[in-house]
Chains A and B, each alone.
Chain A
């Protein structure tokens, strides 16, 4: 739902970084998106197509690395993948968990000629 403003921010960042690196064209954009960031990559691609029109990033290929949601148990220290509504430590059964991976939302790199 908030992908429009996130895609706009992403495009601004890409264009800014491309300019700082003296690039005249951006061919590829590599994003890292956590499963729990609430960002849907297909929506980002959809918005990117029209937001990037007329910029040096128009037509750039977006590849996305999805980071699975991982939690760590505060009691026994076990790290585990979060699945759906299963919010218990698989090892000791406690609900005392910290989300340690899956909230990422960053521009990993851009590809230029």
Chain B
């Protein structure tokens, strides 16, 4: 006998992500899920963001890595609360892991939560965490064909940050082709061209973020 189910295989994760979302909303937190390939600059962008916004904003960080606490140690030096999740081989964060990180963060004291996903352009796209925004970081040395190779990730992003633009004169990277490919897949997505090394373009990103935070309806 056949029993029709028609249920998403990841519905359990989606349900947990919804609970995370509700908890974040109760605490009036804007949460960002940073996704990128290894070495694109997730930690660097998080550090730049903290540096420029920590005076005016209460920031918390969740660091996801397969192993090690290197990133959490670097972030902790900035004096913001940080929790390291080691996935132990799993190639993405999921909503349950993030929920357990919440237990170790002073949520009532956080306005902006930066979640660094595991470096990978495939798997993190499938697992919602309860975030407000998916930010995809791509970087110049990776090449301009990444939107075509990882279309699901690019189509799910709310924002695309192109990092390492200081390298544009030195590598083959067709910026108009990249932009057209991203906008082709994801109509209306904003692209921020930055260099975490030189600081170019970071101001535009942090201003956008500050504006977004000010626009959030207050739940209190």
Which residue numbers of A lie inside 8 Å of B, CB to CB?
Answer: 1-2, 4-6, 9-10, 12-13, 17, 21, 23, 28, 30-31, 36-38, 74, 85, 87, 94-99, 103, 105-113
Contact = CB atoms under 8 A, between A and B. Distances in A.
Contact of B2 (A13, A97, A109): A109
Interface of A is mostly: mixed
B9 A6 contact: yes
Interface size class of B (residues with CB under 8 A): 35 or more
B11 interface: yes
A2 B151 contact: no
B184 A17 contact: no
Contacts of A107: 5-9
B126 interface: yes
B99 interface: no
B148 A106 contact: no
Contacts of B127: 2, 5
A107 B5 CA distance: 6
A28 to B, nearest CB: 8
Contacts of A1: 91, 120, 122-123
B4 A108 contact: yes
B49 interface: no
Contact of A9 (B9, B120, B125, B185): B9
Nearest to B122: A38
Nearest to A1: B91
B47 interface: no
A106 B7 CA distance: 5
B90 interface: yes
Contacts of A108: 4-6
Interface string B1-26: 11111111111110000000000000
B94 A5 contact: yes
Contacts of A94: 184
Nearest to A87: B148
19 contacts: A1-B123, A2-B90, A2-B91, A5-B127, A12-B12, A13-B12, A17-B5, A36-B152, A85-B148, A87-B148, A95-B180, A96-B187, A99-B151, A106-B6, A107-B8, A107-B9, A109-B4, A111-B1, A111-B2
A112 B183 CA distance: 46
A23 B2 CA distance: 11
Contact of B3 (A2, A23, A105): A23
B86 interface: no
A89 B52 CA distance: 42
Contacts of B9: 6, 9-10, 13, 31, 105-107
A17 B8 CA distance: 12
Contacts of B6: 106-109
A91 B95 CA distance: 41
Contacts of A37: 126, 152
A2 B152 contact: no
Contacts of A30: 2
Contact of B123 (A2, A17, A23): A2
Interface string B143-163: 001001101100100000000
